Amino acid sequence: MKVEIWSEITCPWCGLGSHRLDRAVDRFEHSDQVEVVHRSFPLNSGFPTDRTLSVREAVMAKYGAVPEQTGAPDIEGMAAEGLSPYRVLDNRVGNTDLAHEFLAHASAQGKNREAWDLFFRAYFGQAEPIFTLDDLLGFSDRLCLDREETRQALSEHRYRSQVRADARQAQRLGATGAPYVVIDRRYGVPGAQDSDGLLDLLRTAWNESHPVTVTAGGDASACGPDGCAVPARP
C-alpha cells in the first residue's frame, strides 16, 4: 500500500498531519507493507527570498490582526498528541522553494521520509531556520548527504521542476491546500485528519485491495441464521 502526503514544510497543520499519519500507520495491522512518501506542496513562493518574517508579522500582514485575534485554533496546545515542544507563533516563515528542492534532492538519495521528519522536528520542535543555502547544507550533513553535491544541486535548481510537478499532481488529485493525503491513488484526504480516521481509511483501502476469495466448501457442516445443519450421510 502506498500512502502519499503533500505538505508545506512551514505549515503547522502539515507537521501535525504528518505526525498523525505516522501514528495511524504504526497502529495499522499491515504497517510493514505500507510505504509513506512525502511530496511538496509549496505555499510560500510569494515570500521574499532574502529575509524571513515572524509568524505574527506574516499573519498581521495577511489578516490585519495578530494570531490570537484571527480565531485560529491553538495548535501549539496539541502537544498532548506527542508533539512537544511544537513551536508555531514564535517561529519564522519565509520562502521555502529552496527547502523543497533540498527535500527532493534528499528523496532522490533514498532519504525521503528521513528528510521530511528531520525538517518537521527541527522547524517546529527547535525553531531552526530552513530557508537559506547555508541552512540547508547543515541539514545535508545531518542526513549524511554529500555537501558539495547538495550545494551544486541546489545552486543549479536541479529539482525545481520536480517540486512544481509534485504540486500540480496534488491539484490534479483534488488538493486545494496542504496537508493532503492520498491512499493508493484512490482516496484523497484533505487537512490534518485525526489518526483514528486515517487508520479506518487505511483498513478500508486495504480490504478493498485484498478481497477474500470464498472457495467451494463442499458438504462441510456449518451454522447459519436458521440454525446448524449437518450434511446427510450417503
For the stretch 66-109, pLDDT in tens is 555 544 456 666 555 667 778 887 789 999 999 999 999 999 99
| pLDDT tens sequence across 26-58 | 999 999 999 999 999 999 998 889 999 888 787
Give the separation between CA 93 and CA 100, rounded to whole angstroms: 14
- Range name among 12-16, 189-193, 219-223 with the lowest pLDDT average: 219-223
Residue 221 is predicted with a pLDDT of 72
Percent of the chain past pLDDT 90, that is, above it, reads 68
Give the separation between CA 79 and CA 85, rounded to whole angstroms: 7
Residue 54 is predicted with a pLDDT of 87
In which band, very low, low, confident or very high, does the pLDDT at 168 lie, cut at 50, 70 and 90? very high
In which band, very low, low, confident or very high, does the pLDDT at 184 lie, cut at 50, 70 and 90? very high
Q: To the nearest whole number, what is the mean pLDDT of the chain?
A: 88
Question: Measured at the alpha carbon of residue 112, what is the angle toward residues 161 and 9, in degrees to the nearest 5?
Answer: 70
- The pTM for the full model equals 0.86
C-alpha 203: how far from chain center? 18
User: Which grid cell is 59?
Assistant: 499573519
